[in-house]
Structure 1
Amino acid sequence: MISESTPLAAVEQAMQALLDDVVPLASESVALGEATGRVLAEAVEATMDVPPFDNSAMDGYALHHSDAGHTLPIIGRVAAGDSPLALERGTCARIFTGGALPEGADCVVMQEKACVTDGHATLPGDVPEGDNVRRRGRDVAQGSQLLGAGMRLDAAALGHLAAQGIDKVQVRCKPRVALLSTGDEIIEPGKPLASGQIYNSNRPMLVALLEGFGADVIHIQHVPDNAEDTRRCLREAALAADIVVSTGGVSVGEEDHVKAALEALGELNLWRLAIRPGKPLALGRLPGGDGQLTRFVGLPGNPVSGYVGAWLFLRPLLGAMQGCTAMAELPRLWATSTFGTSTGPRQHYMRVRLDFSREGIQAHAFTDQNSGVLSSCVGADALAVVPPHSQVAQGDLLECLWLKA
C-alpha cells in the first residue's frame, strides 16, 4: 500500500514503473501524405538507385573529358526528363540541370565557361572526368537500408521515401489517449466564470503536447469531484484507450478522489515524486478492453506541473508504445547559468530560456518558478535540472533538457 508515509520516489524509479513491460503497438499501412510524425514499424530498403542515372549538376555542355580544350559541334539538347541520344567523341551536347548525361559523355562544362558561336562550343581545357556530374546512386544505393525501424518520419524522411516512389509506409498505430480533467472549479474556455472558478488551461495544453508526441486523443471528459463519478469515468476511459491521463485529484485533499479510485479499480504503481514541480504524480494500471491493462498517468492539477510531467513522462511512454527509442529521453545540453538558486530534498526542473553564442550556451531562468505560473513555460526552451540539496551560482554549468525535440 502506497501512503503518505511512503518515501518520495526518484525520477529513475518513476521511469522504471512507467515503462515496465511496455511493448510497441501493432502497425498499420498509411499513405505517405498522412505519415508525418508517424513511427516506422519496419526498416525500409532502397529498391532503386538515387539518382537513377548520371545527370548534370548545372546548365552547360556535356562532353567526354578527353575533348576538353577544343571547339566542338553541339549535336543535341538535353533537358530534364529527356532521353538523350548517345554522344560521339569530338562532339558535345547542350544540357540543363537534372538532364540525363548522354552515353559517351562523362563531364559537364558550366555554360559560363563555354564560348558558343555558330553551333559550336569552345570549351576550356583540363576538365576532369565526372566534373559537374551527379553520379547514379550517389545519394542512395539500391539494396541499402533507406530508413530504420523506430524512426519518426519528418519532412526529410518523407522526401527520402518519395524519391523511391514509395506511396505507403508501415507505421505503428497511434496510442489512443483518454484525457480526464478533475475539479468542480474547472470551466472550459468560452463560458462565463463564477466565483471561485478557473478556466481549464491543462486540456488544450496537454492535447497539443500529446498529439505532438504521436498520440491520438480520442476521449476528453470532465470528472466531477466525487468518488462514484471518478470511478465511473476512469472505468470508461480505460476501456476506450491505451493510456488514461488525468489532471488533478491525485493529492491528499478530501476532494482528491483519483488515487483511491485507481486503487479500487486497478493498481497504483507509484505515487508522489521527489521532483519540483510535479510531486503529486500517480502511475498505475486499469482494467482495459480484451483483458488488457491500460496505463494510467495522473498528473498534478497545477498547469506547470502538468506541462513538465508531460515532457518527462508522457513523451517517453508514448515513444515506447510506438517503438521510437529517440523519444526515450529528451536531448541534453550543458549551459552556463545566469542565475543562482538552491534546492531542498526534491530535484528541480526549472523553466529556462537558452541563448546560443560563440562563447557557448547561457541559461536564463524565468523569475517566478511557482507551479501555478504557466507563463514560465511560455518561451521556455529547456528544463534546467538542479539535483536535490544543491547550490547553483551564476556561472555554474547546468544540465538542460531541450524541449524543442
Structure 2
Amino acid sequence: MLGFDTIVAVDWSSGNDTGARPRKDAIWAAVNRGGAADAPVYLRNRQVAEEWLCALFAAEQAAGRRVLAGFDFPFGYPTGFAEALTGSHDPLALWDWLAERVEDTPKQNNRFDLAGAINLQLGDGKGPFWFNGLARDIDGLSRRKDGYANPFAEKRQCEALAKGAFTCWQMGGAGAVGGQMMTGLSVLTRLRRQFDVAVWPFQAPKAQFSFIEIWPSLTVGPAPEGQIKDAWQVAEVARQIASLEVDRLATMLAVDAPEEGWIFGLGFEAELSTPPLRNDCFALPAGVHWTPVDEALDLLKDRLTAVTGIETLPATQALGRILAEPVRARRSNPPLPNTAVDGYGFAGGRDGGPHVLPLATGRAAAGDAPGQVKSGQAVRVLTGAALPTGVDTVVLQEDVRVAEGTIRFSGPIKAGANTRQAGEDVIEGQDILAAGRRITPADLALMAATGTRDIQLRKPLRVGILSTGDELVEAGETAVAGQIHDANRPMLSGVVSAFGHTCIDLGRAPDDRAALRARLDAASGKVDVILTSGGASAGDEDHMSALLQEAGAMALWRIAIKPGRPLALGMWQGVPVFGLPGNPVAALVCALVFARPAMDVLAGASWSEPQGFDVPAAFTKTKKAGRREYLRARLRDGRAEVFASEGSGRISGLSWAEGLVELPEPAATVKEGALVRYIPYGSFGL
C-alpha cells in the first residue's frame, strides 16, 4: 500500500513572521498530484502554515487521496536523548513532550529557553544544545560552543552520511535546524492527532497520510535565476518523489532507523537529482535569424540533459535500455586460468625433440574445481577446464600419443601454449559498460559472464505525439473538401518507437488555443517530451508557437535546412516541446536530424550522430548555396538514387527511400559518379 496520490514538500522556518510579500528564508510548500504540480505556496508564519496544512489535508481526506508529506527538519535526535528526557526511547513520545512545552506565536517562540531548560536537566547547562540567538542571556544555553559537553552523539547516523548536514543541537545560525525541529515537531504532533498519520521510519507508511523527513539540498541544485531558492526546492522535491515508481519508492522507504529517523533519499541522491531543463534552454543567441544545421545541433547538445529517472532492474531485463551508471565487473573473465583446447597439461614449455611425461590419474573438465598435478607429470584436460595447480601449458590431443601410462609428443612447445590467463578478457572491478550506453545482446553476455545481476537503468523516455490542425482527420474517416488524413502522427509514433522510447499518443488538437492549452496541460504530467507537427511557424493559426510564446519559453528556430526550416522549441510546465513542420517529409527529416539526438540525451543516452558513407551519385543536381539539403535516397548497385520529386508533401518518396543523401550548405553541381554522403535510415535507428 505504498502508492500515493499527492506529494507535499514543506520548507520550514523557526523565525518570526516574514510579512505578506513572498521572500526567502521563509516557509514554502509545494503540492504535486499525479505528476501535475501546483505553484509553490508562500506561508508567512507557522500558524498560517499549520492552518494551510490542515485545510489541505482535510480536502485530500475528503477526496480519498493518499498523501506523502515531507518536511525539511529532523524527525529524531541521536540515540538516547528521547529516553533521557521522557523515560521512553520512542521518538514519538518525545514529539508529544515537545508539543506540550513549545510556546509559539507569529512574532516569537520559546525555543531558546526550552533548550536551556533541557540542558540544565540533562547536562548541567553544558549541553547538548548550544547557540543563544537572543539579546538576553539564557540560563543553561551558551551563545557559542564554549564549555560544551554533549552527553549524546553529535549527529545522527544519517547526518554523518549526508555531507554538509547540521547537528540538531545547534539552535541558531546559518543552516541550523534545532529550532526548526522544536517548532516543526509540535505542529506535526497536532496534525497527527487530527488525521490518520504514519511517521516514517518509525511507523510503516500505510496510513492515509505519511510524514517523511526531507532535506532539499540533498538532491536539488541551485534555483534558476530570478526564482526563490526555497520555493524552487520544495517544488523540485515534490516532483522528484512524484516521478518515482511504486517499487522504487518502496526501496527508498525500506530503512531501519527506529529511534533516530532517516533523511528520505539518502543514498539515492544521483537517482533523485536529475535536474529539469531550464525554460530558456532553447533560446538563440542575440542577433541569430538563420541557424546553420551544425550550430543548431551544437546548441541542443550543449543545453540538453537527461530528464528521465533511474531504477534498478536485473541485467537480464535490460535489453534496449539505457545505463544510468557504469557497470563494474564483479568477477574476472576468465575467473581462473583455463585450457583453450582438449589435450594434456603440464608445467613449462618444451624444446625440440621427443618428450615423454608420466600421465597423472583423473582429468580436468569444465566445471571441475582445480586440482593439483605433481611436477614433471601431465594430466588430461578438456576445453574450458580450470588449469590444475602445477599446469600452465597444454599440448593438443592430436599431437599426443598415449602409451603405458605416459604421453609422448614432439616439441617445441611454448610455455603457456593453448591456455587462457585469468582476467585476460576482463579484470574484476573493471568498468565494462559506460553510463549512457543502450544495452545490446552482447552486453547481456558480458554482464552475465562477469557476475552482474542488478544494474541502474534510466527509465524509458515517454514521448507524447500530438498533431494539430482542423484540416486533419483519422485514416479511414471520411475527409470532406479541405481535409486530409493525419499521416504525421502514425509516422512519428513509429519513429519514436524505433528509437527505443515509449510512445504516448496525444491525439489531434483543433486550431483552438484553449483546447490546445488544455491538451498540453493534461500531457505535461504524463510525458517527458512532446513532439508536435504543424503550427510551428508564426501564422494566424500557428497556435502551438503562440502558446509557447505566452509561456515565456519558446524559440522559433529558422534553420538553414531543406526540407524544414521552422522548428518551434519550447517548454510547457517543464516538459520540452519540439514543434516540427507540418509537411510529412519535413517533419520526418527534422525528427531524424534534430529530435533523435536530442531525445537520446533527454533519455540519458550519449549524443548520437548518424554514420554516413561516401558513395557515387546515380543522379545529377544543381544546388544553390545557403541551406543544407536532405534528399530521399536509396542504394542500388552501389550508387545513390534519389526520389524524382523534392516536394515536401510527397509521402510516397519517404516510403520509397531507404535513407537520405546529405548535401552541404555551399553551392554545388552534382554529376553522376560524383561522391555524395549517403545516410541509411538504419544509421538513425530506423
Letter in 2 for 1:299: L
Q: Please tell me the residue identity of whatever aligns with 1:137.
A: G
Amino acid in structure 1 at the alignment position of 2:303: D
Contact 1:235–1:265 (CA<8 Å) still a contact in 2?
A: no
Quote the Cα distance in structure 1 between the aligned partners of 2:659 and 2:338: 43
Residues 545 and 568 in structure 2, CA contact (< 8 A), matched pair in contact too: yes
Secondary structure in structure 2 of the residue aligned to 1:69: strand
Match of 1:313 in 2: 594
| DSSP-derived class of the 2:413 partner | coil
Q: CA deviation at 1:30?
A: 2.3
The CA distance in 1 between the partners of 2:645 and 2:424, in whole Å, is 53
CA shift for structure 1 position 348: 0.7
| Secondary structure in structure 1 of the residue aligned to 2:518 | helix
Output the amino acid matched with 1:352: A
Query: 8 Å contact 2:620–2:672 — kept in the other structure?
Result: yes
CA distance in 1, matches of 2:360, 2:621: 75
The one-letter amino acid paired with 2:337 is D
**Aligned match of 1:370:** 647
TM-score (structure 2 length as normaliser): 0.52
Residue 285 (str. 1) matches residue 571 (str. 2): yes
Residues 297 and 170 from structure 1, CA distance in 2 versus in 1: closer, same or farther, beyond 3 angstroms? same
Q: Which runs of 5+ in 1 are unaligned?
A: none
Q: Report if aligned partners of 1:65, 1:107 keep a CA contact under 8 Å in 2.
A: yes
- Cα contact 1:75–1:91 (8 A) shared by 2: no
**338-347 or 361-370: which moved more?**
361-370
Superposed counterparts of 1:3-402, under 5 Å:
7-15=289-297, 18-19=300-301, 21-25=303-307, 26-66=309-349, 69-70=355-356, 72-73=358-359, 75-117=361-403, 120-189=406-475, 191-195=476-480, 198-251=484-537, 255-286=541-572, 288=573, 293-327=574-608, 329-344=609-624, 345-354=626-635, 362-378=639-655, 379-402=657-680
Q: Distance in 1 between matches of 2:606 and 2:576?
A: 19
SS of 2:566's equivalent?
coil
Whole-Å separation in 2 of the counterparts to 1:375 and 1:121: 72
Q: Which has the larger share of strand?
A: 1
Instruction: Confirm or deny: 8 A CA contact 1:386 1:398 kept in the other structure.
Output: no
- State the TM-score, normalizing by the size of structure 1: 0.85
Identity %: 35
- CA distance in 2: counterparts of 1:312 and 1:343, whole angstroms: 20
> Cα gap change, 1:155/1:383 in structure 2, threshold over 3 Å: closer, same or farther?
farther
CA contact (8 A) 2:464 2:523 kept: yes
CA distance in 1, matches of 2:593, 2:512: 29
Q: CA deviation at 1:74?
A: 5.2
CA distance in 1: counterparts of 2:406 and 2:653, whole angstroms: 69
Aligned AA for 1:387? Answer: E
Shift of 1:55: 1.0
TM-aligned CA deviation for residue 246 of structure 1: 0.5
- How far off its partner does 1:266 sit? 4.2
Q: Distance in 2 between matches of 1:72 and 1:183?
A: 87
2:58 maps to none
Q: Is the CA contact 1:24–1:172 (under 8 Å) kept in the aligned structure 2?
A: no
Please name the residue that 2:138 is paired with. none
| Distance in 2 of aligned mates of 1:109 and 1:60 | 6
Change (3 A) 1:33 1:116: same
**Structure having greater relative contact order (Cα 8 Å, sep ≥ 6):** 1
CA deviations on 1:150-202 (whole Å, 9 max, x unpaired) are: 2222222232222221112112333322110223444445x344445554433
Letter in structure 2 aligned against 1:295: P
Residues 375 and 34 of structure 1: is their aligned pair in 2 closer, same or farther, counting only changes over 3 Å? farther
Gaps of 5+ in 2: 1-282
Contact 1:210 1:314 in 2 (8 A): no
Whether the aligned pair in 2 keeps the contact of 1:69 and 1:126 (CA below 8 Å) is no
In structure 2, what is the Cα distance between the partners aligned to 1:251 and 1:186? 18
Secondary structure in 1 matching 2:588? helix
- Report the AA paired with residue 262 of structure 1: L
* TM superposition shift of 1:391: 2.3
- The count of residues paired between Structure 1 and Structure 2 equals 391
Contact 1:385 1:401 in 2 (8 A): no
CA distance in 2 between counterparts of 1:18 and 1:128 reads: 56
Q: Secondary structure of 2:344's match?
A: strand
Once residues 157 and 151 of structure 1 are traced to their aligned partners in structure 2, the CA distance between those partners, rounded to angstroms, is: 10
In structure 2, C-alpha distance between the alignment counterparts of 1:200 and 1:75, rounded to whole Å:
77
Give, as a single letter, the amino acid of the residue that structure 2 aligns with 1:60: G
User: Aligned-pair RMSD on alpha carbons?
Assistant: 3.0
What SS does the aligned partner of 1:377 have?
Answer: helix
The alpha-carbon distance between structure 1 residues 92 and 39, as it changes in their structure 2 partners (threshold 3 A), is same
CA distance in 2, matches of 1:180, 1:326: 25
Aligned residues of 2:332 and 2:427 also touching (Cα < 8 A) = yes
Alpha-carbon contact 2:328-2:431 (below 8 Å) kept: yes
- 1:310 is paired with a residue whose SS is helix
Separation (CA, whole Å) in 2 of partners of 1:267 and 1:395: 47
Displacement of 1:62 after TM fit? Answer: 2.0
Opposite residue 58 of structure 1, the aligned amino acid is V
Q: 2:293 is matched by which residue type in structure 1?
A: V
Cα distance in 1 for partners of 2:494, 2:453 equals: 28
Q: Deviations over 1:11-36 (max 9, x none)?
A: 24433554563222343222212222
> What is the one-letter code of the residue matched to 1:315?
R
Are residues 210 and 70 of structure 1, via their aligned partners in 2, closer, same or farther at CA, if it must alter by over 3 Å?
same
Q: Is the 8 A contact 2:558 2:567 kept in 1?
A: yes
Aligned in 2, Cα 1:107/1:320: closer, same or farther, shift over 3 Å? same
Give yes or no for contact 1:186–1:198 (8 Å, CA) kept in 2: yes
Q: Cα gap change, 1:121/1:201 in structure 2, threshold over 3 Å: closer, same or farther?
A: farther
User: Residue 240 of structure 1: SS of its match in structure 2?
Assistant: coil
